Amino acid sequence: MSFSIEGKTAIVTGAANGIGLAIARHFAENGANVVFADMDDKRLKTELGEVEEDGNIHFFAGDLRERLTAANLLSATIDAFDRVDILVNASRQILPTDVLSADDNSLWTLLEQNLLTSFRISQIVAKRMLKQAEDDGHDQCNGSIVNLSSIASQRAQPGLLGYSVSTAALDQLTRSLAVELADKNIRVNSVAFGSLMSASLQSTLKDHPEYRTEIEKRTPLGWIASANELVEAAQFLASDASRFMTGQTLVLDGGRTLVDAVKAAAH
């Protein structure tokens, strides 16, 4: 088994910042052809700079919640690299939810962003993977879809109803798609992580520095992960090293859910 992704083509959504950007860069540095996809055109250009036309990096800007935009993303990928082998659904959003407000639409917004967008892109990419196998004269294709989830899917926290529900639904989507696509040799897995030093968390910690100590105390390993600490897990799930693994959610949280589980059992 090999951890190599060299020569494979990957689409990474949410690739203008945070974990999506880190994964896309890591894949490109390890020899994959990578399409960085995000709606933030300006940020993509800032992060990637001048992209060589015949290089292994391309970027695509557009709102992937729109069906046509998602289809255009696949077309742009095929135009650039002729195929797609890996999809990483890293585009996600976090919003607070006021459960008593009739005007609060956060649940619908997060279901659209975190669940339905990943489902639509997975659909069209899986169809392309199957077509590639047929064109190559193979009975089975060899594709990998990796979803980015959260430990919020496994627990309820005040103010995060919409985020928790949408990520829990994403975990079920991972399992259900894995079963649907298993006989076609398209694997679907996810990575659920705890507190990540994202731009939004950095902003929060500027206003509330005491939160950092609280998070670190609740994490047995004692630190907040950077985006770079998660990229190897994504490569593992995208590579042949995990070829007998599907429908699984790999938890990377520094042991935080273990502590929460122990506390819950104690009560």
Query: Are 237 and 178 a contacting pair, CB within 8 Å?
Result: no
From edge to edge, which strands make up the β-sheet containing 33-38? 57-61, 33-38, 9-13, 86-89, 143-150, 186-193, 249-252
CA distance linking residue 37 with residue 96, whole number of Å: 25
Place of tokens 């998602």: 70
Query: Are 146 and 87 a contacting pair, CB within 8 Å?
Result: yes
Has 211 been annotated as catalytic? no
List the one residue out of 145, 11, 5 whose CA is nearest residue 71: 11
Check residue 60 and give left, alpha or beta (phi > 0: left; psi -120 to 50: alpha): beta
CA distance linking residue 180 with residue 21, whole number of Å: 29
Query: Are 247 and 189 a contacting pair, CB within 8 Å?
Result: yes
Active-site residue, from 163, 166, 235, 237: 163
Burial status of residue 240 (CB atoms within 10 A of its CB: 0-12, 13-18, 19 or more)? middle
Alpha carbon distances (Å) from 47 to 58, 69, 77, 188: 12, 22, 19, 28
Which positions are annotated as active-site residues? 163
